[in-house]
Each structure stands twice: as C-alpha cells, then as structure tokens.
Amino acid sequence: MAHASEDGRQPLVLLVEDDPQDAFIVEELLEDSGLKVRLEWARSVDEARRALVRLRPQCVLLDLGLPDSHEFSALSAVMEKAGDAAVVVLTGMAEEQAGLAAVTAGAQDYLVKGRVEAEWLGRTLRYAMQRKQAEQAAVALHAERMRAKENERLERGLLPRPLLQSMPIEVASRYRPSRGAATLGGDFFDVVESDDKSVHAVIGDVCGHGPDEAAVGVCLRIAWRALVLSGVTGAALLRRLERILEAERPGSEIFVTMTTLVLDPDQRTVRIWRAGHPGMLLHQDDTVSLADPGQSPALGLPVEVDWHQDILELPKGGGLTLYTDGLFERRLPGEPPTWLGEEGLLDLAARHAHLDGEGFLDALLADVESVTAPEASADDLAVVHLRWKDTP
C-alpha cells in the first residue's frame, strides 16, 4: 500500500486488515480526511506483531474480524506489542457492542465499518493519538510523583534528625545527590546522644548508586542508631553492621565505607573507628586542618578485619567535619585532568574556618561547586559538622 506521505516526521498508522477492498477504502478516506500520516498495511495478527516491533507506529487501526483471531485475541496481541501507539478498532455494523468492549479493554476508540466518513476518520485517529499521549503523560507524572515520594522516604531514612538530649553540641549537615540522579544514593549519617551523655556520630557510603544502595544505607543507619542506643560501640558495632550488610545487600560486590565515633562527655576526647572511609576536618579557633586517624578496611570485603580505635583530643571549642568522598573526588577544569582531593578541599575549607557550622558548610559546598568542572558531581555527598557549644 502506498504511503499517505513520505515525510518521516508525520505519524505512522498501521492498518491491520485482511480485506484488500476495506484496506483500499481506509486509504482513500485518509487521503480525503486532511490528516497527514504515513500508512502501512498488515494483513494478519502475526504480520501486525512483526510490524509493531519493526515500525513502532503512533497509531494502530485494527479490524476485530480478522480470520486468525478469536473474539478479542487480536486486540490483546496488538496491545501487547503496541507500546506507545494508540489503538483504534474497526467493527462491523452488527458488532458495535464489540467496539465498546474494546475501548473498555484499552483501545482509545472504535469505528463502525460502513459508517465512516473521511473527516470523522481523520478526527478519530488524531484524537486517539492525542489521548494516548495524554495518558502517557499522566502515567509519567504519576511515576515521577511516586519517585519523589520514594526519595522523600529514603531521605528521611538516610538523613535523620539528630537524636540529642542535653549535651551542648552544634550539629550541621548537608546532602547533595549526584547530578542527574533519579533517586538518592547510599550516603548516610546520624548523630545520637546516649544515656551516659556521650554523643555518637556516624557517616557512611554504600558503593554504587540507586534505590538498592539507598535501601542498604537506610538499613545500616537505622541499625547503627538502634545498636548505639543499646550500648554497642566500636569494633563490636562494626562487626554487627557488617553482618547486617551481608544479609541485606543485593550482591556480594557491595561494600560500605564508614566512620563511627564517640565524643566523650568531657568535650575533649573523641574515640574514632574508621572502616575504609576518608579523613575529617579538625576545627580549632579560626583554623582548620586535616585529621587522618588510622583506618581499617571497609565493611563487606572478603577479608578478616579487626577495626581498631583511635583517640583524637579535641581542642577547647573545637569541632569536626565528616564527609563522604563525593565532596573531594571531583575533577578540576582543564587538561590534563586533575582532581580536587582532600588537600584541595582543605585549602577551600581554610577560607571559611571562622564561620559557624551552618555557614561553614554552605560556603564550603559553594566553593567546591565553583572550582570543579560542571560535570564533576558524579557521586552523592554527605557532610556533617560537629562542634561543642561554648558554655558558661
């Protein structure tokens, strides 16, 4: 059958019709309708299936009375392969109820053979394609809203409010997803005050991106909080978290870097356990330095690990900034490629050491974004600032 137009930008209509005379009538009506389309002809259900996969039409005009179909088997077969195409069915004059049933089953509209005029045919196909596009837009909008709600649920799980009681500590935090991410990654953090007035903090990074990694991060963060409130800390805490990771992760290749620490009630002593995680920034007066206490391998690796404790003495009024590697593993503009790194991050942080926690994090993140390449944010990042408040 000749095309109504060879312009590739025009919609493609696939006519599924076994009767050559009826097919010719449809072609003539379309030419008279004013609707500019390309027309392809399939003579059977099997031929229509192949054409749908090969041509990806915008509309299918389907005769329900094909000899190789039974009741609505032709409609089911076509809709299974139709994808984004609108489906309009053709029925005989004695089968108008079948057309209504076809619309109920998912077709966009129906036409009765012998009652179709050119203008009506063109209008029906045009509206059917527009209706299908509107349905797809509504489905996409619903899916986007569901993703947004899922992100909100994941964010609440990954990035909770600090659970503090009476200790005078300032907590500031920030999270940034990687550019173009449809969902959160696996970066997480938490801050909890235990009954003995110690303040516990954790920051972690599940390798990879996507909902599975985010779900693992949520699981580990909640488990960390529950274990800390139960009195478990240090290497024992990391061992139990590793067991949970091994049970919950989607694949054995998933590992987690983590720093967990305890700020003692004396407001000076910090006990630190690092499992493959980056260092931290140490704040003192209006200066900042890079603290890099010893570390052991990440959680989830196929090696025997005994995570050891390190002690850091915090200066009076001092603070710590913990972060994930998304903050500093960023490419700088220019060639050959160079990276910001932790030393570059320290240079930026030193500019804003005089600021309070909230101001420091905002200024630091703004600087990181300004000096790195536009496409550099390939990973999520989480940052937590902890500082004891001045007390009388």
Q: Was domain 159-388 assigned CATH 3.60.40.10?
A: yes
Q: Are 179 and 299 in contact (CB under 8 A)?
A: no
- Residue 157, SS3 per DSSP: helix
State the pLDDT at residue 3: 40
- By residue count, the chain amounts to 392
Homologous superfamily (CATH) of 12-139 is Response regulator (3.40.50.2300)
CA distance 93 to 79: 23
pLDDT averaged per 10 residues, the chain (length 392): 50 90 89 88 89 91 82 83 89 76 86 86 89 82 66 60 89 79 72 95 88 86 95 95 94 94 95 95 93 90 90 91 93 86 94 94 94 71 91 58
State the pLDDT at residue 1: 47
Domain limits of the chain? 12-139, 159-388
Q: Which helix (H) or strand (E) holds 262?
A: strand 256-263
Q: What's the one-letter identity of residue 208?
A: G
Each residue of 285-317: pLDDT tens digit? 889 999 988 889 999 999 888 899 999 999 888
State the pLDDT at residue 6: 42
CA distance 38 to 167: 73
Q: Are 60 and 129 in contact (CB under 8 A)?
A: no
Q: Residue 378 burial (CB < 10 Å; 0-12/13-18/19+)?
A: middle
Q: What's the one-letter identity of residue 276?
A: G
CA distance 52 to 12: 11
Q: Are 26 and 1 in contact (CB under 8 A)?
A: no
